Structure 1
Amino acid sequence: MKKIAILGAGESGIGAALLAKKNGYDVFVSDGGKINAERKQRLEEAGIAYEEGQHSGERILSQGEIIKSPGIPFGNTIVNAALERGIPVIDELEFAYGFSRGKVIAITGTNGKTTTTLLTYHLMKKGGLDVGMGGNVGKSWAAQLVEEDHDWWVLEVSSFQIDGFKTLKPRVAVLTNITPDHLDRYEYKLEKYIHSKLNLLKQMDDEGDFIYFSEDSNIWKGLSDLIVKPKVHEVSLEKIVKDGSFFNGTEVKINHDEHMISFPLSEMSLKGTHNMLNVMCAANAALLAGVQESAIREGLADFKNAPHRMEQVAEIDGVVFVNDSKGTNVDATIYALAAFKEPLIWIAGGVDKGNEYETTMTEVRGHVRTLICLGKDNEKLKKAFAGVVPEILETQDITEAVRWGYEKGKSGDVVLLSPACASFDLFKNYEDRGDQFREAVKKLKQ
């Protein structure tokens, strides 16, 4: 009997354990923290051995193969010991790939990958394809394969997950952009992070397709070191491209099979230039999968984005409140700021990730009327925007931040929560921050 150890009992770890058990593996799950009651019950019902609060090194290393949580770095002591002994260490998605007959559309990027994944899946469903969705959005891919397989799978993948890929070969790979993020996992070297993202292509050949943002200088830096085998489809904000997409400010134009297809911005539910990059990536991927133009047009019109990503919560006396709590880095927030022409009251702050705010100035100066700093340490934000934003306030209470947004706003203004920072100083995670923002707005409206 094959033996396998699972490091981490989160969504991906539990899914991998259940799929391994179904396929005859001797499975052992180890989590350094506490495993919640619902996940323990799933393991116990499946007859899977587990431990919590520790990692029993020798037992883990005796299993023969390891699937690790994306959150556990390769520098982890047990992971290092396994690699030194020649024990394979892979990701849940890599493991699941071996049990699926479906073609994979794998979507990565520093920003935009969740929206692009959800939209691609939505367009393919509209087109009548047999498609599932997994990775960093929705349920674990492995857990879904316990129940059913699909002809196509749309997967959101992070650099951490790509680092654990050995054989996973996308039929279509999508790279939305690359900006500095998670550099603590890559020795603070941007080039290592870039190469991690582009390793998504390492198993692909000339039967695959690669969609990427052509004006991204970091992508070009990485591509200069690679021989790209799949067919290339650029998305551009500057020029019409062959076998790719272009946004001219009013419509998306896609060159597909020597035929130009146009999708007017006025007919889409998503707004903002950054979202047009997501639209171009998703629509290109859907067309390559065989979705008809009419289904894509319909899907672009009725798509609803993920919670906490440019989510309009309410309008109170003409002041619109927008939840972009998922904007946890500077580049994501730049996209959010640029999506609005209206005057802004901007709520930002949290745990700084080495942010440099200079790149935001074009979108902030003359656009943001009030900055409300929401965090325990707001000095860097206040210093960066002193003299740029007319009014800067600070609080550790999201209800107060929302009330101030309403008081400072005028009819036609937008109160935008787009923190540019992690949430862990005041909240459990970005979802908790977004949920509390939404609840505070709803109470204010009442």
Structure 2
Amino acid sequence: MKKLVILGGGESGIGTAVLGKKKGYEVFVSDKGVIKDIYRKVLLDFDIKWEDQQHTEAIILTADMVMKSPGIPDEVPIVKKLREKGIPVVSEIEFAAGYTESTIVGITGSNGKTTTTMLTYDILKRGGLDVSMAGNIGDSFAMQVAENDTLYHVLELSSFQLDGIKEFAPHIAVLTNITPDHLDRYEYKFENYIASKFRIIMNQTAHDYFIYDGDDEVINAYLETHPVRSILLPFSLKRKVEKGAYLEGEHIKIIIDNNEFTMPTDNLALKGNHNVKNAMAASTVSQLLKIRKTTIRECLENFHGVEHRLEHVLKINNVQYINDSKATNVNATFYALDAMKSSTVWIVGGVDKGNDYSDLYPLVNEKVKAIICLGVDNSKIINAFGNCVDNITETQSMKEAVNMAYKIAERNENVLLSPACASFDLFKNYEQRGREFKEAVREL
């Protein structure tokens, strides 16, 4: 019996453990931290051996294959030792893909991938396909394959998940954009992160499709120097494309194999240029999979987005409070500020991942009347925007930040939480940060 060792007892680790057990592996799960009770219960139910708060090398180094959770960097000692011994280390996505014959839609990108994934899933589901959504969102892909292997899988994929693939090849790959993010995991080299994102198409063939942002200079530069085997379907707000999606006046137009789909951008439920692009990407996938045009239109008109992504919370005294806690990098915040139609009080800050704020200067000059910093160390934000905005204040809790915004904001203005940073200094994750914002707003 082959031995499968799993490093990390979170969502992807437990899903892989269950799938591995079902496929006849001897499975062992090892986590350096504490495995949550909900995951322990699954391990007990399936009679899977596990340990937490340690990695027992004597057991781990006897594996035939190791699945490493995406959160564990390649540089940790146990992973280096596995590689030195020639033991294959793969991601959950790679492992699970080997056990399904289903059609896979893989979606990655620095921003917009969650919205695009949820929107694509929504359209395919309403279109009558037997489809699931997994990966970086919802259930783990491995658990989905183990328990409910639908005919179609829509996967949101992070660069960390793509780093651990060898043969994984989605039939349809979507790349929403590439902007600097997570550079702390890529030796602070943007080119390493770019290469990681493009792994999504490395095993595609001439029968597969690659849908991407045709306006993204980083993507275009990469494509000029790296030949791609799959069929290219760009989407663009700036130019007409022969195959793919583009804007014609105020209408989205998608052309695939002489089949046309059009829809006015005014009818989109989600506003802002970035959401026009998300809609183009999701609609292109849906067109490829032969979903009826009326279904695509209905979904685009009724889809109200992702929690913590430009989420309208409440209007108080004619001031709109908006939760964009999912904006953990500068590019995501750029889209948020770009979508603001009136003067805005901006709550920003957290753990800086090597941010360059200069792209935001024109938008901050135009739209931001006050900045409220919410982080342990706000010096970089204050230095970056001190010349753009007169009113910059520092706060140490979400309640304090929201109360400060309430005092500053006037009728017909916005209060926007769009941190441009990771949340780990004051919060467990961006979800907790967003929930605390919403609670504080409701208590006003």
**TM-score in terms of structure 1 length:** 0.97
What residue in structure 2 maps to residue 61 of structure 1?
A: 61
Instruction: Find the aligned partners of 1:123 and 1:74 in 2 and give their Cα distance.
Output: 37
What residue in structure 1 maps to residue 104 of structure 2?
A: 104
What residue in structure 2 maps to residue 88 of structure 1?
A: 88
What residue in structure 2 maps to residue 32 of structure 1?
A: 32
| Cα contact 1:101–1:150 (8 A) shared by 2 | no
- Structure 1 window deviating more from structure 2 (320-329 vs 374-383): it is 374-383
Matched, 1:18 2:10: no
What residue in structure 2 maps to residue 152 of structure 1?
A: 152
Q: Deviations over 1:358-384 (max 9, x none)?
A: 110111102101111111111111111
Give the Å deviation of 1:291: 1.0
SS of equivalent to 1:387: coil
- Structure 1 window deviating more from structure 2 (328-337 vs 378-387): it is 378-387
What residue in structure 2 maps to residue 344 of structure 1?
A: 344
| Cα contact 1:238–1:248 (8 A) shared by 2 | no
What residue in structure 1 maps to residue 166 of structure 2?
A: 166
Instruction: Find the aligned partners of 1:146 and 1:244 in 2 and give their Cα distance.
Output: 34
| Cα contact 2:325–2:419 (8 A) shared by 1 | yes
Q: Deviations over 1:321-361 (max 9, x none)?
A: 00000001001000100011111110001111111111101
Instruction: Find the aligned partners of 1:152 and 1:121 in 2 and give their Cα distance.
Output: 10
SS of equivalent to 2:167: coil
Give the fraction of aligned pairs with identical amino acids, expressed as a percent: 48
Instruction: Find the aligned partners of 1:250 and 1:332 in 2 and give their Cα distance.
Output: 24
Matched, 1:193 2:193: yes
What residue in structure 2 maps to residue 220 of structure 1?
A: 220
Quick one: which amino acid aligns to residue 343 of structure 2?
Answer: P
What residue in structure 2 maps to residue 305 of structure 1?
A: 305
SS of equivalent to 1:192: helix
* Residue pairs, 1:138-287, within 5 angstroms: 138-247=138-247, 250-287=250-287
Give the Å deviation of 1:216: 1.2
What residue in structure 1 maps to residue 318 of structure 2?
A: 318
Instruction: Find the aligned partners of 2:352 and 2:186 in 1 and give their Cα distance.
Output: 18
**TM-score in terms of structure 2 length:** 0.98
Q: Deviations over 1:373-406 (max 9, x none)?
A: 1111111111111121131111112112112222
Instruction: Find the aligned partners of 1:239 and 1:225 in 2 and give their Cα distance.
Output: 21
Give the Å deviation of 1:251: 2.6
What residue in structure 2 maps to residue 428 of structure 1?
A: 428
Give the Å deviation of 1:89: 0.7
Give the Å deviation of 1:220: 2.2
Give the Å deviation of 1:221: 2.8
Instruction: Find the aligned partners of 2:210 and 2:384 in 1 and give their Cα distance.
Output: 38
Give the Å deviation of 1:256: 2.5
Instruction: Find the aligned partners of 1:43 and 1:225 in 2 and give their Cα distance.
Output: 46
SS of equivalent to 2:195: helix
Name stretches of at least 5 consecutive residues in structure 2 with no aligned partner: none
Q: Deviations over 1:217-247 (max 9, x none)?
A: 2112322332201100011111111111113
Give the Å deviation of 1:248: 5.2
Instruction: Find the aligned partners of 2:336 and 2:227 in 1 and give their Cα distance.
Output: 34
Quick one: which amino acid aligns to residue 38 of structure 1?
Answer: I
SS of equivalent to 2:443: helix
| Cα contact 2:234–2:241 (8 A) shared by 1 | yes
What residue in structure 1 maps to residue 78 of structure 2?
A: 78
Call closer, same or farther: CA 1:138–1:249 in 2, change over 3 Å.
farther
Q: Deviations over 1:13-60 (max 9, x none)?
A: 000001111111100000001111221121112111111111111211
Quick one: which amino acid aligns to residue 184 of structure 2?
Answer: D
Quick one: which amino acid aligns to residue 283 of structure 1?
Answer: S
Instruction: Find the aligned partners of 2:142 and 2:18 in 1 and give their Cα distance.
Output: 8
Give the Å deviation of 1:259: 3.6
Instruction: Find the aligned partners of 1:377 and 1:191 in 2 and give their Cα distance.
Output: 28
What residue in structure 1 maps to residue 124 of structure 2?
A: 124
What residue in structure 2 maps to residue 400 of structure 1?
A: 400
| Cα contact 1:247–1:276 (8 A) shared by 2 | no
Quick one: which amino acid aligns to residue 91 of structure 1?
Answer: S
Instruction: Find the aligned partners of 2:249 and 2:161 in 1 and give their Cα distance.
Output: 34
Call closer, same or farther: CA 1:90–1:97 in 2, change over 3 Å.
same
Quick one: which amino acid aligns to residue 253 of structure 2?
Answer: K
Q: Moved runs in structure 1, 4+ residues, more than 4 A?
A: none
- Structure 1 window deviating more from structure 2 (36-45 vs 151-160): it is 36-45
The total of aligned residue pairs comes to 444
Matched, 1:383 2:399: no
Quick one: which amino acid aligns to residue 274 of structure 1?
Answer: H
SS of equivalent to 2:366: coil
Quick one: which amino acid aligns to residue 190 of structure 2?
Answer: L
Instruction: Find the aligned partners of 2:112 and 2:159 in 1 and give their Cα distance.
Output: 14
| Cα contact 2:184–2:353 (8 A) shared by 1 | no
Instruction: Find the aligned partners of 2:32 and 2:77 in 1 and give their Cα distance.
Output: 12
